Amino acid sequence: MPSWGGKSSGNKLGYRIFVTVLKKMGLQPAYLLLRFVSFYYFLFAWKSSRHILYFFRRRLGYAFVPSLTGLYKNYFQFGQSLIDKVAIMSGMAHHFTFHFDGEEHLHELVRLRRGGLLMSAHIGNWEAAGYLLKRLNTRINVVMYDGEHQKIKDYLNTVTGGFNARIIVIRENLSHIYAIDEALRNNELVCIHADRFVEGNRTLTTELLNEEALFPAGPFILAAQFKVPVCYVFAMKEGSSRYHFYSSSVKNYDYSNKTSAMQEMLNDFTANMEKMIKRYPTQWYNYYDFWG
């Protein structure tokens, strides 16, 4: 069964170098350095590269040379997302411009005062999305695995001040469920990725890009259990300094049949996810055997 390991790659020294270049010289010199790092991963990171090449070749139908080009762009844009994360969280958001599609749906979600789930995927830049969500004037909770190495995370917190939201870490003792319950009862929004699962967790099945794939059941169980409305949100990069934020309309599901509602929700999520993948194919940062 294909599953994600729950950890991001990278090391503290690498982050320190890029943060220093970013702070002392700015975004463009950091991007220039990134081109060399990206080329290194392009040449030597075969363990992850083969999964990206499969995605371009088999799922999108690219020829071999465009697939190689897409592979390099994927590494480069993933690195840009990390640099932009530090920049945005360090008060440098003025270096970027933002365009909104569907912001009115999120304001509608807030006005309902029923709480709500914002579902996304490892596409684009979630940290940029978190910055944009400040415009909603409500408390945002982000559910995530504690997958970054602690030293890296502690270092980033010292240079950025941390993420502008309440972080709910997924724990084996299920304490995160109580935190999510509290947030939703307080009519707050809960953000969660719904495209990766850790081995042993319950899954749901549907097609993505014409191939059957497994998805974590947890986000869909949460929505059905708490009977909350859902929006599907993504923040995608366009050009070197522009982000485009997308939100679906508010989805109110019939939770009287939870199994049916969860499958309908999964199908809606993958439809939105597939649309983003096809529009921004080099910004899906999936480095494991997603389809199996």
Structurally, the chain folds into a number of domains equal to 1
d(CA 225, CA 53): 38
The confidence band for 9, taking pLDDT boundaries of 50, 70 and 90, is low
288, part of any domain? no
Give the other-Cβ count within 10 Å of 111's Cβ: 10
Query: Tokens 């059957």 map to which residue?
Result: 212
Average pLDDT over residues 157-174: 67
291, part of any domain? no
pLDDT digits (tens, 9 = 90+) for 17-54: 767 777 778 888 889 999 999 999 999 999 999 999 99
63, part of any domain? yes
Average pLDDT over residues 71-78: 96
Average pLDDT over residues 275-279: 97
52, part of any domain? yes
5-14, 18-27, 208-217 — most confident range: 208-217
6, part of any domain? no
| pTM: predicted TM-score of the whole model, two decimal places | 0.89
d(CA 262, CA 278): 24
pLDDT at 229: 97
51, part of any domain? yes
The confidence band for 15, taking pLDDT boundaries of 50, 70 and 90, is low
Average pLDDT over residues 64-89: 91
pLDDT digits (tens, 9 = 90+) for 135-154: 888 888 888 776 554 554 55
φ/ψ bin of 214: left (φ > 0), alpha (ψ from -120 to 50), beta (otherwise): beta
pLDDT for 5 beyond 70: no
pLDDT for 67 beyond 90: yes
Domain that holds residue 73: 12-283
* Backbone dihedral angles phi then psi of residue 237, each to the nearest 5 degrees: -90, 135
Which of 23-37, 46-60, 215-229, 263-277 comes out lowest in average pLDDT? 23-37
Average pLDDT over residues 209-232: 95
Residue 218, C-beta contacts closer than 8 angstroms, at least 6 positions apart:
192, 197, 201, 202
- Here the tokens at position 254 are 């019939």
| Choice between 79 and 89, residue whose per-residue pLDDT is larger | 79
**Based on C-alpha coordinates, what's the Rg of the chain?**
19
1, part of any domain? no
33, part of any domain? yes
Which of 19-33, 97-111, 114-128, 218-232 comes out lowest in average pLDDT? 19-33
- Here the tokens at position 132 are 């944009």
d(CA 291, CA 213): 5
d(CA 95, CA 236): 16
Which of 85-94, 109-118, 151-160, 234-243 comes out lowest in average pLDDT? 151-160
Average pLDDT, the chain: 86
The confidence band for 11, taking pLDDT boundaries of 50, 70 and 90, is low
